[in-house]
Structure 1
Amino acid sequence: MFKALILIDDDFVHDSIDLIEVANRLAGEDELLTYGLGINLADKEVKGFDSLICADLPFLQSKDSRVLTDIIQQVHEEFSFDSIIVLATDFGRMVAPRVAMRLKVGLTADITDIEVEGQERRLVRPAFSGNMLASIICDSTPIMASVHPNVFHVKEAAKEPERIDFLPVELKASSIEVLSTSEKGGTQDIREAKAIVSAGAGFKTEVDQLQELADILNGAVAVSKPLVELQRAPREIQVGQSGKTVSPDLYIALGIYGSMQHVEGLKNVENIISVNIDEGAPMNYLAELVVIGDAAEFAEKLTERLRK
C-alpha cells in the first residue's frame, strides 16, 4: 500500500488535483491511496482523491507557511504517508522546504518525470540551469516533491472522496496580517492560452510589439529566460523550468534558441513554429515549421498579413 498526501492550493485547485498523476507514478505497481489536504476550501469542488482531509480554520486569515507546516506534520503523524506532494506555486515553494526540514527528509523540487523500478523510486528534475537532467533516488520516507503546474495531468478525477474532518491540536494563530489587497491585472495567464507568441534573446525589438499578433490569434505573449534576466519582460510570462509550463495548441518561438531549461516548460504542445537566424538552434528540431530569418521581421509581416 502506497499512501500519498497532496496539498490542495485553494487558488490552484485544478492543478492540485492533477498531482494525483504524480502519486500514480510514484506508487508503481503498489496499491495507491490518495489523500487531499485542504484548508478552508469552502465551496470549492474537489474530486479524484480517495479521501479529502479538511481543516476548517476560520482564524487563519491568510496563507501562512509556518501554520500550514504544523498542520501537515500533525496530519502525517496520524496517517503516516509514503509521499507528500506540493504544487510549486510561490506559496508551495515556501511550504515544501519547511515541511521537509520538519520531517527530516529530503525535498526534490520542480520534478518533471518519475522512474520506478521495483521499490526504487527516482525523481527527475532539471539541473545546472536546465542544461542537464538529474535522476534523484529517494530512499527516505515520506518522499517529498514539488511540481510545477501543468507538468502532469491526471486522466480522470471524477471520484467523490471520503471527507475526513481534521482539527489540529495546539495550533498557533497566524502571525501574518493582511495590510492591503489589490486586483491583479486582467492579462491572460500563459498557462491557459491556446496560442502563445514567445520571444527569446534573438528577438531584438520590444516585446510589447507582439501583443497585437497574440490578440489576433486569441493568445498570449510569453518570453524565454534571457529576456527576463535582461529586464525586458516580467517573470510572470516566462516559459521554462524556472518559469511556467505551458501546453498550447500553437507555440510561435521567435528567436528562441531552445535550451533544455526552456524546453522543460513545453508540455504536449501540438504545433511549434520556430523562427531563428541560427539553423542549428535546438528549437528548430522540435518545430513542425522552421523559418530561417529575423524573428522581429517575421512577426511584423505575419501580423500585417493576419490583420488583412
Structure 2
Amino acid sequence: MFNSLIIIDNDYLKDSVDLVEVANQLAGTEESVVSGLGINLVDKEITGFDSLICVDLPDLQLKDSRVLTDIIQQVQQTYEFDSIIVLATDFGRMVAPRVAMRLKVGLVADITAIDTHQKERRLIRPAFSGNMLASIVCDSTPIMASVHPNVFHFQGTKQPTVSQFAINQLKPSSIEVLAITQEAGNQDIREAEVIVAAGAGYHADIADLNGIATKLKGAVAVSKPLVEQQRAPREIQVGQSGKTVSPHLYIALGIYGSMQHVEGLKNVKDIISVNTDEGAPLNYLANLVVIGDAVEFINKLTARLQEGT
C-alpha cells in the first residue's frame, strides 16, 4: 500500500484534485491510498480522495507558509505518508521547500511525468532551462514533489471519508494584511479554449494581439523570452516556469519551441506555428506550419476575420 498526502489549495480546488493522478502514478503497482489535507474547507464539495483530513482554524492566516508548514509537519508525524504532493502555485512554491527542509527530505519541483519500474520511482522534470529532461530517483521517505496546475488530470467521484485533525499549539503568524486589492477579471490562459501566443520572433506590441484574441474568444499568451524582456507579464507566460495550458487551438507566433515551452502545452488539439525558421522545434508539433513573418500573418488574419463579420 502506498499512502499519499495532497495539500489542498482552497483557491485551486480542481487543480488540487488533479494531483490524485500524480499519487496514483507514484504508487505504481502498489495499492494507492490518497488523502487530502484541507484547511477551513467550509461548504466546499470535494470528491476523488480516499479521505479528507480537515483542519478548522477560522483565524488562521492561510497565506503564511511557515504556519502551513507547521500543520503539514504535524499531520506527517501522525500519519507517516509515503509521499507529499504540493500544487506549484506561487504560494505552493514557498510551502514545498519549507516542508522538505523540516522533514529533512529532498524535493523534486515542477514534475511533468512519473516513471515507476518495479519499486523504483523516478520523477521527471525539465532541467537546464528546459533543454533536457532530468529523471530523478527518489529513495527517501516521504517523496516530496510539486506539480504545475493543468499538467496531470484526474476524473473521480469517490466520496472521501472525513476526519478532523487537532493541531497542537501553533506559533502566531507574523504576516499582517495591510490591504486587499481585487485583480482585474482577465481570463486565465489556463481556461482559454483558444490562445494566441507570441514569442521572441513576434516584434510588434503584444497589446496588438488583444483584438484578434477577443475575436476568436480566446486569450493572449507569451513565451519566456518576452517576459524576460519585460514586454509581457509573467501571468500570461506559457511554459515550465509559467503556466500549463490545454486549449483547443494554440496559435504560436514566432515561438521557437524549446522544451521549457513545450512542457507548458498539454493535450492541445490543434497548433498553428508561424515562424521564419523552418527548423523551429514547434513546427514539428504543429498541425499547420506557416513559414513567414508572424506580424504579417496576424495582420492578414485580422483582415480576413473582419471581412467575415
Q: TM over 0.5, yes or no?
A: yes
Q: Please report how far the alpha carbon of residue 176 of structure 1 lies from its aligned counterpart in structure 2 after TM superposition.
A: 1.2
For residues 69-108 of structure 1, the aligned pairs below 5 Å read: 69-108=69-108
Counterpart CA distance in 2 for 1:169 and 1:157 is 33
C-alpha displacement of 1:8:
0.3
- CA–CA distance in 2 between the matches of 1:56 and 1:82? 24
Cα distance in structure 2, aligned partners of 1:174 and 1:167: 18
Give % identity. 72
CA contact (8 A) 1:59 1:173 kept: no
Contact 2:121 2:138 in 1 (8 A): yes
- Length-normalised TM-score, structure 2: 0.98
Normalising by structure 1, what TM-score? 0.99
Please give the alpha-carbon distance, in whole angstroms, between the structure 2 residues aligned to 1:264 and 1:134: 13
2:144 counterpart SS class: strand
Runs of 4+ in structure 1 off by over 2 angstroms are: none
Aligned partner of 1:181 in structure 2 is: 180
Correspondence list, 1:1-308, <5 A:
1-154=1-154, 156-308=155-307
For the residue of structure 2 that corresponds to 1:72, the secondary structure is: helix
Question: Contact 2:69–2:99 (CA<8 Å) still a contact in 1?
Answer: yes
Q: Deviation string for 1:159-208 (max 9, x for gaps)?
A: 11100101111212222111100111111000000000000000000010
- Say if 1:249 and 1:269, in contact at 8 Å, map to a contact too: yes
Q: How many pairs are equivalent? A: 307
Which runs of 5 or more residues in structure 1 are unaligned? none
- What 5-or-longer segments of structure 2 have no aligned partner? none
Contact 1:26 1:114 in 2 (8 A): yes
Farther off after superposition, 55-64 or 6-15 = 55-64
- Report the aligned-residue RMSD: 0.7
Asked whether the 8 Å contact 1:3–1:33 carries over to 2, the reply is yes
In structure 2, distance between residues paired with 1:127 and 1:31: 31
Deviations 1:1-25 (A, max 9, x none): 1000000000000000000000010
Does the aligned pair in 2 maintain the 1:239–1:246 contact within 8 Å? yes
Do the aligned residues in 2 keep the contact of 1:216 with 1:307 (CA within 8 Å)? no
Q: Find the residue that maps to 1:272 and give its secondary structure.
A: strand
CA contact under 8 A between 2:62 and 2:68: conserved in structure 1? no
| Contact 1:62–1:176 under 8 Å retained in 2 | no
In 2: Cα distance, 1:141 partner to 1:303 partner: 55
